[in-house]
Structure 1
Amino acid sequence: MQQGSLFFGKDPLVKELLGTELPIIQSPMAGVQDSALAIAVCQAGGLGSLPCGMLTIDTLLKEVARIKAATDKPYNLNFFCHQMPSYQQETHDKWQQLLQPFFDEFALQCSSQPNGASRMPFNHDIADALEPVSPPVISFHFGLPEKALLQRVKSWGTKVISSATTVKEALWLESHGVDAIIAQGVEAGGHRGMFLTEDITTQIGLAALLPQVVDRVNVPVIAAGGIADSRGVQAALALGASAVQVGTAYMLCHEAKTSPLHRQALKSANAEHTALTNIFSGRPARGIVNRVMKDLGYIHMSAPAFPYASIEMTQLRSVAEKHNIDDFSPLWSGQNNASCKEISAIELTKQLMAF
């Protein structure tokens, strides 16, 4: 079969939507990539993505400039759009007390940092900076920004996509004007895009979620979660997806900035065991199980709200990693990490369509 014929023969509207040669979107993965990975995927014919939720505006613009200088292909900028809660000192006091034994191991003094959260939601300041750029695609996690901000983005001609982890979330996104919906199966690595519920028992596998979403919405659906090779791509398209989003499979690619410790974990036998946890950031996210997840429990009710839980854990992570210890590192990974390859992202993107 000619590469891409199943995809574009079935849903030519998505080629118009994404402007790509292939129905492959590289998942934005904060902490393990920069523009280099996005550029490689764009050059291969997919939609490269840049995670922007932890970037300053200055760094964001520099990264976008690098993408535009390297390729004239479409690209995607990804942002969080969570509601930023207030810092609750009492909550952090309890959390720090719980973590104190770990700090004692390193003779480390835990410090309170009310302004230490690094994940900021999309806002008008970011929009001011991006308006002259008019990015081709912007994707959101945790729902959508408020109406005026969303309409501002769409006025640039930018296509807007966002993640849904349930049918209810997919219907909500469609009713609020997205151009496409990412159906995020529970297999996916990193943060769950859930925004209408905090109940992780509502999170289901892609094979169950995808056809339900496809049957209920009238916009293109992008499949995400556990897709790491051409068989996964074929299966997703057969279940009604118009495109796929692939993340974990790219984490060992040459262009990824995955740390040596994280790469080591992905290649180890421990990678077979992943779980959803909220202890690193305050929101459920899938990663390779490590010591702190086992010791505290994967989901802990005392964890501060997103993104503040990262303040204390980052302090432990920083000192532990200096000793080559990943006990306190968020080793984000999907369930299908056995398919990770140490090759160019260009080659991997082409292999995903080798059917």
Structure 2
Amino acid sequence: MHVTSSIRTVLASSALVLLLGQPACAPENTSTIEVTPLPSGLPDARKGEVLVDAQGALHFASPQAFFDQIDALNAMTAAEMDAWEDGIGFVSERRRFEEVMAEVAAAETEAEADAILSAHQDLIEVIGDEARPRIQAGGYRSVVGPDGVFHVNGVVHKVLPSRVISAEDGRIETIEAALAAPEAAAAGAFAGVNVVSYARGVEDDSSAVALGCTDRREAFASTSDRKVEFTLSTSREYCAGCCGTYYHRVRVDLQLEGYKKNWLGKWVSYDTAYEHQNVAFKLDAPRVTGFNGVSSSFYYDSYSVSIPAGSSNCDAKTWGISMIVGDQVQNASIDEPYFTRVKGQGKSRGTGAGTWANICCGYAEGCGF
């Protein structure tokens, strides 16, 4: 059963779509981040909301603490996220990517730049003349440490480019064994191991099946030496807790990233300002009606959302907004989300006043730009 809900603007009081934040960019000295340092190590991993172990991986006290932290990070600037990480002694894959790309931008020869990228293939994938994060989903990228790992209430999770694998015994060795025998893992041969796809990535055999406007649309606009990448994507965000519990929710991300050509003629990320306008989408997401004692009862509602025009009001390498569409579902799988229609325009200061990257899919009458 599908019911259509139209939302012209995202209202704070709306239970249908929760806007997680359109972070305002501000100088570092105007933001105060209060962080209470927490002890490290597995023996203390369940005493606080979030801890860092000796391997540099985060431990969350509960699934809700995990989701709450992602939501909080989505509303932070890059400087605020860095301050949060510094306060607990953590280095995210997001931050590592930025640091490596700064090294690439500073390289004095093409061979040196290629060597840096080659040494970080676990973190970066190179497509054509662009280097991108291995994990595209921003929520996961901000909370995974080395090897894409995080823990929730004793359950270990490993994030791959399109999948999350969790093991209830808390042992990364269990996940490695499942990765070594993917067919057995898919058949449920590993007790307490869940393999959940969150995007139709290169590892997903169903990626060749085009559903609607798919789960990711991107567009580029460029001048001779400046380029902007505009992306609208949706994903299934997953987290497991102890004792067989797990949760899903649907996430939508708008992201803009600016590039300039360095002296080697390569496109590299750089700090610039961004704008977006005419952004709207439609997709199906869960609406929970109750809980039967074991799992959520829900149906799929059809959500039509329009996002007001906005801008970064600052310079950043990447900038965007994120939102959760529909309700969080417990102990029941949900369909991988995809856009039935999606549109929008994005630009950077570098591409100029009238040079927009345009996304338009599924609008029979056209997108009006």
Please confirm whether the aligned pair reaches a TM-score higher than 0.5, indicating the same fold: no
TM-score by length of 1: 0.27
Kindly indicate which of the two structures has a greater share of residues assigned to strand: 2
What's the TM-score once normalised by structure 2's chain length? 0.27
The structure with the largest alpha-carbon Rg is: 2
